[in-house]
Amino acid sequence: RLPDGQTKGAQGDTALWHPFADMHAVRRDEFIVDRADDVWVYDTEGRRYLDATASLWYCNIGHGRREIAEAVAAQLTRLEAYSVFGDYSNTPARELAHRLAGYAPMADAKVFLTSGGGDSVDTAVKIALTYWRHQGRPERTHVISRVGSYHGMHGIGTGLGGIDANRNGFDGVFPTASRVANNDAAALRAEIERLGADRVAAFIAEPVIGAGGVVPPAPGYLEAVAGICEQYGVLFVADAVICGFGRLGTWYGVERWGLRPDMITFAKGVTSGYLPLGGVVASGDVAAPFWDEPGRPFRHGQTYAGHATCAAAAMANLDIMEAENLLDRALKLETELHTALLELTGHDAVTEVRGGIGVLSAVEIHPDVLARDPGVLGKLHLAARRRGVLIRPLITSLAISPPLTISSEYFAHITEVIADALDEVTVP
């Protein structure tokens, strides 16, 4: 029995608890997305918005593609799912793993499938630690990440993350983690030396930092840290959850710098978000102790690993990317998007526009403007939305990462809407 005065079940307008949101505000003012078509999103009143963020950086092929719906329907009616577990497998998962290994810049790559990015980061770190145990180096448990990085909100990813607010109160969840400054290869070397290389399992980095504010690497930085990892025998994990599947104009983003990581984590664009799926690509060397030695199961996995219908959605998504040359298209769009947004550097409230590597950019807001009104990013986001363009407030900036199907004609419009929003919100 409930205490007097309480009634069972949902109360008020909504029971849906939004991730990362201040529900005190959201419960009064919720933006309900009703349908979407290519780069357009419609609310429940039928108003149309340009999706300049590809939802949460994932809808690379655009919304509402029938080819995916048909592939998913066909798979659902044949075999919706049967877990990849023990010796059980299914054809879409096998085909997808083969294809993803084929795209990877490592030799003899193997693919561990998961349900998303956070799953994949935790999986990669557990592979790294287990790999070192199998090498007779169980003391290699420390993982280094970067200030400003984002690696998802699972346990290990939370502990590694470089956005302080996300780690607040959870610093102990993955105690063998530390962070080094971004774009400072010497800082990584110093941290490895401080810890002792024989205690460091891996270094994890997003090729272009995404959620931390869209921060492309300084020239030479990624090549330098990859070299340092190799020198000290530290596994290099590229977190390509945002950067993969065309966002940087290549399959895994890392190809832009000729990198050959030991592992790559992916999610998002692999299905363009039509169904949840992620995974880890491991080099043949990292996989070898598990694959080539008897009696070494990797005691880790999730119920939906290799979900047949999610894998079918991924295959149909990759078919579209190949048929429509979306990777090459992204390389053209990245310059056009960056060039258009650079106009905003003329605005008093803008200190810089970051981007130019990949179809993702950020407009950095002046620190005085942020100090005057800590809510200014939210207001800018709403002001742009009222003008029919969806952008993302991101720490101290506004992020833009549209579907790769967008026509570059819209870049001037996005820029104009941001300029108008800046005028409305920041000019006294």
Residues that bind ligand PLP (CB under 6 A): 116-118, 121, 150-152, 206, 210-211, 239, 241-242, 267, 278
Q: Which CB atom, from 239 or from 415, has the smaller least distance to ligand PLP? A: 239
Q: What minimum distance in Å lies between the beta carbon of 210 and ligand PLP?
A: 5
Q: In what order do the strands lie in the sheet with 142-146?
A: 110-114, 278-282, 263-266, 235-239, 200-205, 142-146, 177-180
Q: What minimum distance in Å lies between the beta carbon of 73 and ligand PLP?
A: 24
Q: Which CB atom, from 92 or from 152, has the smaller least distance to ligand PLP? A: 152
Q: What minimum distance in Å lies between the beta carbon of 164 and ligand PLP?
A: 17
Q: Which CB atom, from 263 or from 383, has the smaller least distance to ligand PLP? A: 263
Closest to 154 in 3D by CA, of 112, 203, 120, 204: 120
For 115, the enclosing helix (H) or strand (E) is none
Closest to 321 in 3D by CA, of 230, 255, 247: 247
Q: Which residue has the tokens 């579907």?
A: 403
Q: What minimum distance in Å lies between the beta carbon of 346 and ligand PLP?
A: 30
Do 200 and 231 meet the contact criterion of CB atoms below 8 Å apart? no
Q: Which CB atom, from 117 or from 344, has the smaller least distance to ligand PLP? A: 117
Q: What minimum distance in Å lies between the beta carbon of 242 and ligand PLP?
A: 4
Q: Which CB atom, from 62 or from 276, has the smaller least distance to ligand PLP? A: 276
Q: Which CB atom, from 115 or from 176, has the smaller least distance to ligand PLP? A: 115
Angle at 15 between CA 10 and CA 21, to 5 degrees: 155
Q: Measured in whole angstroms, how far is the alpha carbon of residue 299 from the centre of its chain? A: 25
Q: Which CB atom, from 354 or from 366, has the smaller least distance to ligand PLP? A: 354
Q: What minimum distance in Å lies between the beta carbon of 368 and ligand PLP?
A: 29
Q: Which CB atom, from 116 or from 358, has the smaller least distance to ligand PLP? A: 116
> What are the Cα distances from residue 91, in Å, to 22, 79, 247, 414?
42, 10, 27, 42
Q: What minimum distance in Å lies between the beta carbon of 330 and ligand PLP?
A: 17
DSSP category for residue 400: E
Q: Which CB atom, from 152 or from 216, has the smaller least distance to ligand PLP? A: 152
> What are the Cα distances from residue 36, in Å, to 72, 309, 315, 417?
18, 21, 21, 20
Closest to 245 in 3D by CA, of 410, 57, 39, 37: 57
Q: Which CB atom, from 239 or from 364, has the smaller least distance to ligand PLP? A: 239
Q: What minimum distance in Å lies between the beta carbon of 38 and ligand PLP?
A: 22
List of residues 6+ apart from 238 with CB closer than 8 A: 204, 205, 206, 207, 252, 253, 254, 259, 261, 263, 264, 265
Residue whose beta carbon is closest to ligand PLP: 117
**Following CA atoms 377, 55, 37, 390 in sequence, which dihedral angle do they give, to the nearest 10 degrees?**
10
Straight-line distance from the first to the last Cα atom of the chain, in angstroms, rounded to the nearest whole number: 56
Q: Which CB atom, from 158 or from 415, has the smaller least distance to ligand PLP? A: 158
Closest to 228 in 3D by CA, of 203, 199, 205: 203
Q: What minimum distance in Å lies between the beta carbon of 358 and ligand PLP?
A: 13
Closest to 327 in 3D by CA, of 244, 418, 226, 228: 244
Do 112 and 305 meet the contact criterion of CB atoms below 8 Å apart? yes
**Following CA atoms 129, 134, 137, 142 in sequence, which dihedral angle do they give, to the nearest 10 degrees?**
0
DSSP category for residue 408: T
Q: What minimum distance in Å lies between the beta carbon of 275 and ligand PLP?
A: 12
Q: What minimum distance in Å lies between the beta carbon of 239 and ligand PLP?
A: 4
